[in-house]
Chains A and B, each alone.
Chain A
Amino acid sequence: MSDMLKSYRFREEREADWRKLDLILTRAENSGVKRMSDEDMTALPHLYRQAVSSLSVARSISLDQNVITYLEGLCTRAYFFVYGARTTMGERMAQFLRADWPEAVRGAVFSTILAALFLFGGAALAFFLCLQDMDWYWTINGHSFFETRTPDASYETLRATIYTEPGDVGQDQLSAFSSYLFNNNAQIALFAFALGFAFGIPTAWLLVWNGVILGSMYAVFWDKGLGYEFTGWLLIHGVTELFAIVLAGAGGFVIGGAVAFPGRRSRLASARDAGRKAATIAMGCVLMLIIAALLEGFGRQLINSDTVRYSIAATTLVIWMGYFYLPRRRTSA
């Protein structure tokens, strides 16, 4: 044993730097980038490059398994830290609201129109079927003991579900109900998005089915001459809610289209890009549904005037349209 092993000497010279990098990374992972000292920040890139080159050298000269495993792990951690996103949650949200969301929606105009056709086509179909023969309502919705809004209900009963008389029903019960509806709708929206993967067929079915239920309900009120009032009751939050469901369906079609018709690119690459865009749309849908639930839970019960309801509905439509489709200057971020 006259001279030391080459690999041992190699390790001895660099070990201190590896351990320093390890320490900096552990600190950064546990307490965040913002709390890193300036000294660590400036040392990091150098230490990272050194560790990466150590790994390459170690692979060719060292047979110490432990050293190679350690360096492999260290370099992987350092790589994802050095090249990973350093943006905070707040910055990410701002970027999402300012650019990503409207951009993704604007990029899916064709899918949006398609989704709207499915939803409103289903609604129109059920509406006209029910108007011709009210038995269709029972075929579609089945008999439910709890549902009061059926063809058998009287004009007064139906009217009472649209307007809240003072002291009639507890405000809190209605808000509980609207949060239940939010849950349901948001889950359906995410479903419509995810099912797009199966070439968009289940998404189309989901949209049509939701349209059919809406249309049959509409027919019940229309039949009793409450069409105008029901529209106001529905649209005060419905503009936002239906828009959200249409967009969720559009997200599903974006993925379905990319998987079914990838064009010149590989199916995998095409699905990936479409998936990321569609996910942005779906996230936006959840936000829209929260707004819809607020409008439904509070706005609808507190506002009993048809005119005000219609004007709120129109305002929300203008706001959403403007937000999504108005051309805007591209931000550099």
Chain B
Amino acid sequence: MTTGTVTPNLQANVEAARRRRARMAEEQRLNKMVRVLVTPEGAELHLKLATAAERAGAFAIDVAIQWAIVIASLFGLQAIAGPFGLGAGTNIAFAFWLVFFFFVRNFYYIFFELGRKAATPGKRALGLRVISRDGGRLTANAVLARNFTREIEIGLPVQFLLMGGDQLGAWIALFGLLWSGIFLFFPVFNKDKMRVGDLIAGTWVIRAPKAQLLTDISQVVIKAPRTSLFNFSTEQADAYGIHELHVLEDVLRQSTPEIKAQVAARIRTKIGWVMVPGETDIAFLEAYYATLRRRLEQRMLMGDRKTDKYDVRK
């Protein structure tokens, strides 16, 4: 990345180097969230831990659902017991509702996490699931352990927050809040994003969203008859690396025609491509994608991963 000439180019290079460093730092940060699980077949699965923010989001959804259940059941009870007035039935119904409330409060998570998807509705909505840290099966004991501690992680700080009263009480509440805050913010402060419950149950929460298998972009090129239009030289195919290939894949899969046109223009300048008659941006990008991927995959087979365009080892 050294440049000899002091031109406006230099500034652009400095900017590019800064961006590259930022990108690599981000990659490293994401890699820290990956845990490798070796299956009995000897294959590696890369599991991505859920972030604290995702966990909090899932929890918020679950709490909303719990409240909805509790309130709906209370109204339902009132509707049934209402016509009979404050008679004998009301108290018994209320007694059952109290027990029901206890079970919704404490067993909502357990019920869903023992299920096939090992996730509550909130976790499912965000594509999360609970797994055992050692990769073995998630036992009922573990699910119980991780959920019985919820009371001190969430309930305790809330209780201290609502406490108060005289000066002494306020001091106790403040101290209690700080103390119980340790439990509440536990997931933020450890690298595995574990709650206290996860810690004592030997579990953690991973992101396992369902991905769709899309069509291979190079397929279009292979099947199209016009591919002979594009004959890129080896130098042109060596202009970019794996990072740019992946960015190009994203651009082709999900960006607007304007962005595609801009990207095509930049690549043409970079590799010094002269437009041939009848060439469209998309056809050019797809053809270049296929060429670049072929070149990079060939090099990868020889044990040579060209990470990005700055990687100029021969």
Contact = CB atoms under 8 A, between A and B. Distances in A.
Interface of A: 1, 4-8, 11, 15, 18-19, 22, 28-29, 32-33, 49, 52-53, 55-56, 60-67, 69-70, 72-77, 79-80, 83-85, 89, 92, 96, 100, 170, 172-173, 175-176, 178-180, 182-183, 186-187, 190-191, 193-195, 197, 255, 268, 271-280, 282-283, 286, 290, 293, 297
A183 B90 CA distance: 18
Interface string B176-215: 0000000100000000000010011110001011111110
A8 B219 contact: yes
Contacts of B137: 83-85
Interface stretch (B16-24, B40-48, B51-59): B40-48
Contacts of A6: 297, 301
A202 to B, nearest CB: 8
A229 to B, nearest CB: 26
B98 interface: yes
Interface stretch (B4-12, B99-107, B267-275): B99-107
Interface stretch (B70-78, B142-150, B160-168, B256-264): B142-150
Contacts of A297: 95
A273 B228 CA distance: 64
Contacts of A280: 141, 144
19 contacts: A1-B228, A5-B297, A52-B41, A63-B242, A66-B249, A72-B46, A80-B131, A84-B137, A84-B138, A85-B137, A85-B139, A170-B91, A182-B102, A190-B148, A195-B152, A279-B144, A283-B148, A286-B106, A297-B95
Which 8 A-B pairs rank lowest in CB-CB distance, beginning with the nearest? Answer: A275-B200, A279-B145, A272-B202, A179-B95, A279-B144, A172-B91, A276-B141, A194-B152
A52 B142 contact: no
A274 B200 contact: yes
A92 B114 contact: yes
A63 B293 contact: yes
Contacts of B46: 72
B152 A70 contact: no
A80 B45 CA distance: 11
B92 to A, nearest CB: 5
Given A1-B222, A5-B297, A197 B149 contact: yes
Contact of A8 (B96, B145, B218): B218
Interface on chain B toward A: helix, strand, loop, or mixed SS? helix
Given A55-B43, A92-B114, A183-B99, A5 B92 contact: no
A170 B151 CA distance: 34
Contacts of B300: 60-61, 63
Contacts of A279: 141-142, 144-145, 148, 200-201
A172 B88 CA distance: 6
A243 B293 CA distance: 68
Given A32-B116, A183-B99, A4 B211 contact: no
A278 B145 contact: yes
B117 interface: yes
Nearest to A196: B200
